[in-house]
Amino acid sequence: MSSTAVHTDTHCPYCALQCAMTLNPAPHDATGGRRPLLTVSGRDFPTNRGGLCKKGWTAAELLDSPERLTAPLVRTADGGFREAAWEMVLDRIAESLTAIRVESGTDAVGVFGGGGLTNEKAYALGKFARTALGTSRIDYNGRFCMSSAAAAGNRAFGVDRGLPFPVEDLDGAAMILLLGTNVAETMPPFLGHLAGAQAAGGLIVVDPRRSATVRLTEEGRGMHLQAAPGTDLILLLGLTHIVLAEKLYDAAFVATRTNGFAAVRRSVSTWYPERVAASTGVPAAQLREVARRLASGAGTYILTGRGVEQHVDGTDTATAAINLALLLGLPGRPGSGYGTLTGQGNGQGGREHGQKSDQLPGYRRITDPAARRHVAAVWGVDESSIPGPGIPAVQLLEQLGVPGGIRALLVHGSNVVVSAPNAGPVRERLASLDLLVVSDIFFSETAALADVVLPVTQWAEEEGTMTSLEGRVIRRRQATQPPGGVRSELWILSELARRLGSPARFDSDASAVFDELCRASAGGIADYSGLSYELLDSGAPAFWPYPPGSTGTPRLFADRFFTLDGRAVLVPVTPRPKAEELHRDGALTLITGRLLEQYQSGTQTRRVAELNDAQPEAFAQLHPATAARIGVADGQPVELRNDRGVMVLPARVSADIRLDTVFLPFHYPGDASANLLTQDATDPISGMPDFKTAAVHVRAARVEVQA
């Protein structure tokens, strides 16, 4: 592998902030030590302004990792793997897929994508599933990330874009309410955009833990609302009740730009502060102060994250946050707004162009006849051949290996064994498949179960585009050549499509795929049709929708929403019973989340020494009083158990968490996987799993003493 001799401007491979960076040829190492392939420098850009987090600074170390997959692998009879030639492997995959489709129908083949794939690869994967395979069984790991916020945004605004404004708009905020997000650890450069509100004492954070983000509120007049896990919906209903009861809402905005006011007013009438305080643990006086501060003037933003969305009522909770924002007149008002913080690198673009089970490119509904006609014409297929809507990720995984279900699965950009809820049965189902094909850069825990593993290009080895959390389309640029045995997923899909006799043509050139994506998105909500690599390479900001002749749309909702009548919809929501009883027999509520030095399933970050040395193992964070009750000290092993699994982890004792709560990071595999204990119950609207409220019994672990 050799680097180019030039400096390459690109973007970080991790979160949806998509910080700008430059990859540089590494200097010569006169000591004879291991020379890095490329080095990273920060680059000035609106989202990160030259700054990067630890993950970004060390991202180039993955490019020449000794653990890199460099040749296709096939499982041997004894359960091991051997290297194989590309032609043979692709022939074998195509033959197996053809036989399964003939024997069991097209929906016996499934596809599982990822929110880190480029727009081009996400588009090609959705097209491949529906034309080359003819299956409706496609979804992706973004279902675990943004689906509840997306569903809430669509029904309220008629559109789903994480931030409907540029992230730098937050610089002028006087008041920011953050719910369910720990941005200080998940996207540290984002903190620069909170500095103004923090300095003004206007940063308010809702979190069951005293997280790194919460600690930002402790200087000045910031506030921490330490609500009980799973009570964010009730808290938001209580804030809305106060805004209405005290007539703090923007009556003119509500009258002219929204529908549904009367129904929402009725729905929150009984959620008075004292009742909300009893459920959430947030004092009534604090609730009143927050409501009044949010309504105190211009420069107010409400931002949500996964902590409020990864529940069986996640869509309703995000909707309640939107209702509050609409009543305050925030969306579309200059200097104010509502948004949700997308997590994965291409979490926004990854759901816009077809790898989601119910969507076609341009964020079109797959059930819309006009959308089907348009996309079929771009693909060159009969619209009747495009399957209807599939099923969301958790239900798709439940169909693996069952009679009449999915017999073969293709996995791209996802480590399902670690990231899926209730992971034990998922592992068993993956192992039971007739064919499991995993495309990855490393031998992940999911790849270890595969029949075929395909080595694919990394971020700095490919051209492409990504879409940031603010709807900004950006260029990913190739800075180095991949190892000789590695191939782009665009090439893999085109080769498989040819072998499967696809009626649609597949191109392996990223620029050509992007041009086709733009045509397919034309007229859709997420319209990219005015974009091109040439325009993106010019450095011009590119916020969708971006139809031909426009200059893009950095700020949505200034004049109208994306609904038929242009008005936003206030949707009444009410709490529903939890999927399981949380505090019976002394159980604690398990919440999961991220660490600064790790990312998602850890497939990448656990292979960077600096990051992994900082957080080498999972742990269970407990309150000191809880630890004392069960008889454990900091660092001692605790057992966590429920009907889904059992884990033994070291305790990390801290007053930064509630007494009734235990926190696990979700980046670790095997017996340390937090998702051995999480629920696979899902939100009925979005299909989002309930990652944040599982009941677990925690006790001191029995340690066997060797004789």
On whether the CB atoms of residues 699 and 320 are closer than 8 A, the answer is: no
In terms of domains, do 384 and 304 share one? no
In terms of domains, do 159 and 255 share one? yes
At 1, the pLDDT band (50, 70, 90 cuts) reads very low
The tens digit of pLDDT for each residue in 523-570 reads: 999 999 999 999 999 999 999 999 999 999 999 999 999 999 999 999
Both tokens of residue 138? 């496609």
Is the pLDDT score of 34 beyond 90?
no
At 35, the pLDDT band (50, 70, 90 cuts) reads low
What residues have CB less than 8 Å from 421, skipping those under 6 apart?
A: 144, 394, 675, 678, 679, 680, 689, 690, 691
Q: Considering the chain, what is the average pLDDT of its residues?
A: 95
Q: Is residue 177 part of a domain?
A: yes
In terms of domains, do 154 and 297 share one? yes
Q: Is residue 178 part of a domain?
A: yes
**308, 340, 372 — which closes off a domain?**
340
In terms of domains, do 376 and 510 share one? yes
Burial of 395: CB neighbours in 10 Å, binned 0-12, 13-18, 19+: middle
H or E element that contains 199: helix 195-199
Share of the chain above pLDDT 90, in %: 93
Q: 644 in helix, strand or coil? A: coil
Question: pLDDT at position 681, please?
Answer: 95
Question: pLDDT at position 382, please?
Answer: 97
Q: Is residue 612 part of a domain?
A: yes
In terms of domains, do 267 and 365 share one? no
At 581, the pLDDT band (50, 70, 90 cuts) reads confident
Burial of 286: CB neighbours in 10 Å, binned 0-12, 13-18, 19+: middle
Share of the chain above pLDDT 70, in %: 97
Question: pLDDT at position 332, please?
Answer: 95
What's the CATH number where 688 sits? 2.40.40.20
Number of structural domains (the chain) is 3
Q: What is the DSSP string of 409-468?
A: EEEES--HHHHSSSHHHHHHHHHT-SEEEEEESB--TTGGG-SEEEEB--GGGS-EEEE-
Question: pLDDT at position 299, please?
Answer: 94
Q: Is residue 6 part of a domain?
A: no
Q: Is residue 355 part of a domain?
A: yes
Query: How confident is the model over 48-72, as a mean pLDDT?
Result: 95
Question: pLDDT at position 577, please?
Answer: 86
At 5, the pLDDT band (50, 70, 90 cuts) reads low
In terms of domains, do 380 and 427 share one? yes
Note down the domain range covering 526. Answer: 85-145+346-537
Type of residue found at 497: A
Q: Is residue 163 part of a domain?
A: yes
In terms of domains, do 367 and 506 share one? yes
**482, 515, 537 — which closes off a domain?**
537
Maximum CA pair distance of the chain?
Answer: 79
Distance CA 602, CA 264 (A): 42
Distance CA 119, CA 346 (A): 8
H or E element that contains 8: strand 8-11
Question: pLDDT at position 425, please?
Answer: 96
Is the pLDDT score of 27 beyond 90?
no
What's the CATH number where 132 sits? 3.40.50.740
In terms of domains, do 202 and 330 share one? yes
At 28, the pLDDT band (50, 70, 90 cuts) reads low
In terms of domains, do 365 and 331 share one? no
Question: pLDDT at position 399, please?
Answer: 98
Q: Is residue 60 part of a domain?
A: no
In terms of domains, do 498 and 395 share one? yes
Q: Is residue 392 part of a domain?
A: yes
Question: pLDDT at position 3, please?
Answer: 42
Question: pLDDT at position 219, please?
Answer: 81
Question: pLDDT at position 155, please?
Answer: 96
In terms of domains, do 240 and 362 share one? no
**284, 313, 340 — which closes off a domain?**
340
Question: pLDDT at position 30, please?
Answer: 55
What's the CATH number where 256 sits? 3.40.228.10
Distances in Å between the Cα of 673 and the Cα atoms of 143, 668, 669 are 19, 5, 5
The tens digit of pLDDT for each residue in 443-466 reads: 999 999 999 999 999 999 999 999
- Give the 3-state secondary structure percentages of the chain, helix then strand then coil, rounded to 5: 35, 20, 45
Query: How confident is the model over 338-345, as a mean pLDDT?
Result: 90
On whether the CB atoms of residues 504 and 388 are closer than 8 A, the answer is: no
Is the pLDDT score of 703 beyond 80?
no
Question: pLDDT at position 705, please?
Answer: 45
In terms of domains, do 99 and 110 share one? yes
The tens digit of pLDDT for each residue in 592-631 reads: 999 999 999 999 999 999 999 999 999 999 999 999 999 9
